[in-house]
Amino acid sequence: MQFLGYLISGISLGSVYALIALGYTMVYGIAKMLNFAHGDVIMIGGYMVYFTFCSRGWNPLLAVLFAMAVCTLLGITIERVAYRPLRSAPSLAVLITAIGVSFLLQNSAMLLWKSDPKSFTSIISLPPLSLAGGKLSIPAETIVTIAVSIVIMVVLLWFVNKTRIGHAMKAVSEDRGAAQLMGINVNGIISLTFAIGSALAAVAGALLLSSYPTLIPTTGAMPGIKAFVAAVFGGIGSIPGAFLGGVLLGVIENLSKAYISTQLSDAIVFLVLIIVLLVKPTGLLGKKTAVKV
Amino acid sequence: MAKKNGKTRKKSTRTYVFSFSLILVFWAGIEIAGNLGMLSSKMLGMLIPICAYAIMAVSLNLVVGFLGELSLGHAAFMLAGATAGVVFYNGAGLTMHQVPRVIITLIIGAAAAGVFGVIVGVPVLRFSGDYLAIVTLAFCQILKNVLSTTYLGVDSKGIHLALEQSSFRLEPGAKPLIKGAQPISGINKISPNMMISFTVGIVLLLLTVTFVLNLMNSRAGRAITAIRDDEIAAKSIGINLTSYKLMAFISSAVFAGLAGVIYVLNLSTLDFKKYDYNLSINVLVMVVLGGMGNVPGSIIAAALLTLLPELLRDFSQYRMFIYSIVLIVIMLFNQAPAFVQLRQRFVAKIRGKNPAGEEPVEKADGSYFEKHGKEEE
Amino acid sequence: MKKVITVALTGALAASFVMSAAAAETIKIGGIGPITGAAAIYGSNVMNGMEIAVEDVNASNPDLQFELQFEDDEHDPEKSVNAYNTLKDWGMQLLGGTVTTSPCLAVGAEALNDNMLLLTPSASSQDVIDLGDNVFQVCFTDPNQGTASADYISSQKLGEKIGVIYNSADAYSSGIYATFMAEAEAVGLEVVAEEAFTDDNSTDLTTQVQSCQNAGADLIFLPIYYTPASQVLIAADKMGYDVNFFGCDGLDGLLTVEGFDTALAEGVMLLTPFVADAADEKTKDFVAKYAEKTGGDVPNQFAADGYDVVQVLYAACEKAGVTSDMDASEICEAVKAVLTGGDFSYDGLTGEGMTWDASGAVSKAPRGMIIENGEYVSLDAE
């Protein structure tokens, strides 16, 4: 019973990682860049929900939609101003710029909203799900987060595989030059990818903070890094891989805290990651890419 | 072919001359100004950090620029070197004369970082690209985490090592060398005279630059460059990939260890928390800003990026906000093709040359770039 | 060409660091702490507290004026030393800082070299005052807090089975934890769960709370700051785990977290030197000024510590007859002599009758508080 309790809290954390990792992997898959600022877009989304829902009492759904709109706009702007001029520059240059954007978002948030912590009210007002005669309870936030992650995963898979724009995205991801020759608007597709990724970040922010309610300007940084790890764990670029990697990462983290050592749980998580990658170098669900000579 | 070889040699000589004169001019300028008492305390205080970051950047350039692999865990080697060095410095070295004490500390730091480089390098170099990046990051987090739960001390019964506070008992009066997450303090400076410490830093920087430039212009260096440019072709002509990759990786780790030692000896305190991926990323920014594979560039970028936040002090809490904007603008200006062309045209105009002419774009020549970059054209 | 420009630029940057001398009219006080970065909340509070105190002391006596400059260190030892050197170039004569422990260890070593008096508002590690005889604290030293907490819990019989949740990557938290455990063993407290977290995995603290519950703890000791503590309280509430909490001065600020349901903090006990809603004139006055300065914020104990630092330095300077033409080393000796002279005591926001001995540690009585109906109530009164 204790084990199940720990497992559930692991899944709660994992579902949040999974949701963030989906946005990460989406942008990585199409734009081929590690968007280090993703975690900070989540933080901005969190503040948007905080100011509308927690402070002004908006309808939670409306608040999340508002945050999604703000983050979409932010994502497109960031892409347009900071990343697009570097489209044909080395990808490491974009990586560094993304780090600059991440600093910029954190420091802007600090100047705008100060650094004191804000406690987030959960946007989910449902009671927890009781199991085994009340001995176990699964927080409603966890159930909603998992459900939302699965829905997003399925919709993304459908979108990428079945729609025309999705096909265009895949084409851009496979070979940008060829896609351009085929008349695909590469810049438009990448902007769209950032728009979707940032909208997902807003949802992730709202749900992350519903489960773990401390909101500060650096709130997004660590979950962002962990989600990056989760995305690599599951096979970066793979949408189901991001989900699986996220959930597993959360479960491993919490079980090692519960049964091995709370002090060493970071080390254990990363050790498991290394071992998994040694056995399966492209992550759990990653595609093996053949090297062309 | 012969002509091309001649040209490369000339270019490498130019790099040597430029790098050494850069470092020596910097050193001489500071020494003169320092002895005339013209330097502010702030400048004096930043000399060693600048040397340490320059060594970090040059050594990381070996992996990122020359080997063409992205490492996000360079801080781990700095930490390994610093910790091992300090344990000796504050432990067995406490009663020694300062000169051998510092030298042995440096050797121990470099060796420890080298050993950790082997431990990390062997598994890590099986990966490439983002996977390698994440695994180096993972090793850095592991080292930081394990050290923050380590307790180490010496008393009359011998050495005590524990991973938990509760099982760590020292005799009264014995001073622990590592006490978990609490920063190690009371580390004496190399010398109370900053100019002497600074000279040590410069000597180490010269050592690093000499080694890296020599390595790059040796047979091994050409093999490493070949691996970067085309791994399969390199393999097919019989280059042993693993041993050359390891060579670059471990050398890089050793110098990061040296940087770690002078850094903590200067700071008088060692807090494991600082050596995380943020530090690795800062060093990476220096490498990219200075130009991949460009040794003097790394040194200049290290100095600039260390000085920049200090120059922005007048802006108080807006400081880091402005720093981040400056960082983005510099990257755009330096790397965006539109800006690069604009700059070239401008330079060409000044020199009265054909815009398509001589001045080569100082574009990066790392394979990490080209692997992804090529298909984006 | 690019190289030439860059080299020229570097040279220009370097040149701008060359010293410029300034004339001193008043006594220059330096302050160092994080006002950007993840720990910015602590530094900003101290900075505001110090600024208010400087306004107060300058108004109190026109003959002795303080001028304050506060520099950012991002909670990083290297940046902190840079901040210290910046202040030195400015002409600092007394240092009220640094706010956090690990930067303070680096700056303390420099201050020792220069014989600069350092009075830290909140760097509470024992190592800080062990650096040298010119380093003093306004806050309690960590070991004292750990020992006092264990003694308090044991003597007041607040709990039978104790769980501890602490930050193992933080000097403040692991320092208190260490001495708490030693004292708990000495006084026979039964500690059933020792759970740690680090800054890297502090997103989720549920597992740690679950482990305490599973071990049957009826009191959880929280030697941590109020931000993670609010997470612990929320997690325990969500799990329906009815348990008492006991914390140290880091817990102060809990009630001021924006959006936090203060009902969850009901019954939380803490040892703290400062409470923002205390009824005495001094605190009321300070809280009002603080709100006016920051647009409605409530000061936490860091702000109060910062305020006291300036007040203590001022009182000591007045008593020692410090004048603005004295250099830092002379002022250091004079102030040190007053602080450790035996007849100096100061009634501040964070304690009545604060005195110092040569070790640099402050002696003041910790106050046991309990949160009832969203307010602090003294535990001792019961």
Q: What are phi and psi of C88, to 5 degrees?
A: -65, -45
Let me know if A136 is exposed, middle or buried by CB neighbors in 10 A (0-12, 13-18, 19+).
middle
CATH code at A23? 1.10.3470
Q: Within the 176-195 window of chain A, which residues sit less than 8 Å (CB to CB) from chain C?
A: none
Interface test with chain A among B140, B182, B287, B332, by most A beta carbons within 10 Å = B332
- How far apart, in whole angstroms, are the C-alpha atoms of residue B350 and residue C305? 59
pLDDT of res. B9: 58
Is the CB of C204 less than 8 angstroms away from the CB of A137? no
Q: Mean pLDDT, to the nearest integer, of C290-312? A: 91
Contact by Cβ (8 Å): C367, C137 = no
CA distance A283 to chain C (A): 22
Task: Tell whether C265 and C303 lie within a shared domain.
Answer: no
Q: Within the 135-164 window of chain C, which residues sit less than 8 Å (CB to CB) from chain B?
A: none
pLDDT of res. B105: 96
Let me know if B311 is exposed, middle or buried by CB neighbors in 10 A (0-12, 13-18, 19+).
middle
Is the CB of C86 less than 8 angstroms away from the CB of B310? yes
Quick check: C296 contacting A, CB < 8 Å? no
Strand order in the sheet with C362-363: C346-348, C351-356, C362-363
What value of ipTM does the predicted structure carry?
0.89
Task: Tell whether C97 and C186 lie within a shared domain.
Answer: no
Is the CB of B300 less than 8 angstroms away from the CB of C35? no
Question: What residues form DSSP beta bridges with A119?
Answer: A214
CA distance B362 to chain A (A): 12
State yes or no: pLDDT of B42 exceeds 80: yes
Quick check: A57 contacting C, CB < 8 Å? no
Q: Cβ contacts (< 8 Å) between C168 and chain A: which residues? A: 262-263
- How far apart, in whole angstroms, are the C-alpha atoms of residue A265 and residue A256? 6
Residue C49 sits in which domain range? 24-140+283-363
Report CA Rg, chain C.
22
At C30, the amino acid letter reads G
pLDDT tens-digit series, residues B331-374: 888 888 888 888 888 888 877 655 444 444 444 443 344 433 33
Contact by Cβ (8 Å): A63, A220 = no
pLDDT tens-digit series, residues B202-216: 999 999 999 999 998
- How far apart, in whole angstroms, are the C-alpha atoms of residue A15 and residue A9? 10
- How far apart, in whole angstroms, are the C-alpha atoms of residue C131 and residue B184? 12
The residue ranking higher by pLDDT, B316 or C166, is C166
Contact by Cβ (8 Å): A111, B321 = yes
Other Cβ atoms less than 10 A from the Cβ of B51: the count is: 31
Strand runs labelled E in B94-202: 151-155, 158-162, 176-179
> Tokens 């997470």, residue?
C231
With a pLDDT cut of 70, the percent of chain C lying above it is 93
Strands C346-348 and C351-356: antiparallel
* C7 located within any domain: no
Separate counts of helices (H) and strands (E) for chain C: 12, 15
With a pLDDT cut of 90, the percent of chain C lying above it is 41
pLDDT of res. B231: 84
- Computed over every residue of chain B, the mean pLDDT equals 85
Q: Using CB atoms, which chains have 3+ pairs under 8 A with B?
A: A, C
Q: Within the 309-368 window of chain C, which residues sit less than 8 Å (CB to CB) from chain B?
A: none
Task: Tell whether C205 and C124 lie within a shared domain.
Answer: no
Q: Using CB atoms, which chains have 3+ pairs under 8 A with C?
A: A, B
With a pLDDT cut of 90, the percent of chain B lying above it is 44
- In chain A, the number of structural domains is 1
pLDDT tens-digit series, residues C232-269: 998 898 888 889 999 888 887 788 788 888 888 888 88
pLDDT of res. B362: 42
pLDDT of res. B101: 94
Pull the structure tokens for residue C56. 């107060």
> CA neighbours within 13 Å on the CB side: how many for B160?
21
- Computed over every residue of chain C, the mean pLDDT equals 86
Contact by Cβ (8 Å): C112, C131 = yes
Q: Domain residues of chain B, as ranges?
A: 2-304
Residues 6+ apart with CB under 8 A from B58: B205, B208, B209, B212, B255, B295, B298, B299
Length of chain A equals 293
State yes or no: pLDDT of C115 exceeds 90: yes
- Among the residues of A126-238, which ranges form H helices? 140-162, 164-174, 176-181, 186-211, 221-234
With a pLDDT cut of 70, the percent of chain A lying above it is 97
Strand runs labelled E in B147-212: 151-155, 158-162, 176-179
pTM: 0.89
pLDDT of res. A284: 86
Contact by Cβ (8 Å): C161, C218 = yes
Interface test with chain B among C81, C142, C168, C192, by most B beta carbons within 10 Å = C81
Query: Among partner residues A97, A274, A293, which is closest to B138 by beta-carbon distance?
Result: A274
Contact by Cβ (8 Å): C271, C150 = no
Q: What are phi and psi of C367, to 5 degrees?
A: -110, 125
Residues 6+ apart with CB under 8 A from B309: B319, B320, B323, C79
Residues 6+ apart with CB under 8 A from B291: B65, B297, B298, B362, B364
Interface test with chain C among B271, B294, B335, by most C beta carbons within 10 Å = B271
pLDDT of res. B253: 97
Query: Among partner residues C168, C214, C231, which is closest to A214 by beta-carbon distance?
Result: C231
Q: Cβ contacts (< 8 Å) between B337 and chain A: which residues? A: 85, 88-89
pLDDT of res. C6: 57
State yes or no: pLDDT of B376 exceeds 60: no
Which among C240, C272, C304 is the end of a domain? C272
Query: Among partner residues A13, A114, A262, which is closest to C208 by beta-carbon distance?
Result: A262
Quick check: A112 contacting B, CB < 8 Å? no
Q: Name which of B38, B109, B34, B366 is nearest B228 in CA terms.
A: B366
Residue of A nearest to C212 (CA): A258
Question: H or E stretch including A56?
Answer: none
Quick check: B64 contacting A, CB < 8 Å? yes
Kindly indicate the confidence band of residue B314, based on its pLDDT and cuts at 50, 70 and 90.
confident
Quick check: C224 contacting B, CB < 8 Å? no
* A217 located within any domain: yes
DSSP string, C102-146: HHHHHHHHHHHHHT--EEESS---HHHHHT-TTEEESSPPHHHHH
- How far apart, in whole angstroms, are the C-alpha atoms of residue A242 and residue A250? 12
Task: Tell whether C148 and C132 lie within a shared domain.
Answer: no
Is residue B155 classed as helix, strand or coil in its secondary structure?
Answer: strand
Which residues of chain A fall below pLDDT 70?
Answer: 288-293
Other Cβ atoms less than 10 A from the Cβ of C373: the count is: 8
Q: What are phi and psi of C25, to 5 degrees?
A: -105, -35
- How far apart, in whole angstroms, are the C-alpha atoms of residue C171 and residue C250? 13
Query: Among partner residues B181, B192, B313, which is closest to C168 by beta-carbon distance?
Result: B181
Query: Among partner residues C1, C72, C109, which is closest to B268 by beta-carbon distance?
Result: C109
* C122 located within any domain: yes
* A293 located within any domain: no
C-alpha distance from residue B102 to each of A17, B86, C115, C322 (Å): 46, 10, 25, 41
Spacing of C-alpha A96 from chain mean position: 19
Residue A256 sits in which domain range? 2-279
Q: What are phi and psi of A282, to 5 degrees?
A: -105, 20
C-alpha distance from residue A135 to each of A1, A12, A138, B43, C211 (Å): 8, 17, 10, 63, 15
Q: Name which of C89, C87, C75, C90 is nearest C33 in CA terms.
A: C75
Quick check: B186 contacting C, CB < 8 Å? yes
Contact by Cβ (8 Å): C255, C230 = no
pLDDT of res. A64: 95
* C14 located within any domain: no
Q: Name which of A62, A43, A76 is nearest A201 in CA terms.
A: A43
State yes or no: pLDDT of C15 exceeds 60: no
Let me know if B140 is exposed, middle or buried by CB neighbors in 10 A (0-12, 13-18, 19+).
buried
At C293, the amino acid letter reads K
Q: Cβ contacts (< 8 Å) between C238 and chain A: which residues? A: 128, 139
CATH code at C299? 3.40.50.2300
User: Does the B2-304 domain belong in CATH 1.20.120?
Assistant: no
Strands C190-197 and C161-167: parallel
State yes or no: pLDDT of C117 exceeds 70: yes
* A291 located within any domain: no
pLDDT tens-digit series, residues B288-311: 889 888 999 999 999 999 999 888
Query: Among partner residues C195, C196, C259, which is closest to A119 by beta-carbon distance?
Result: C259
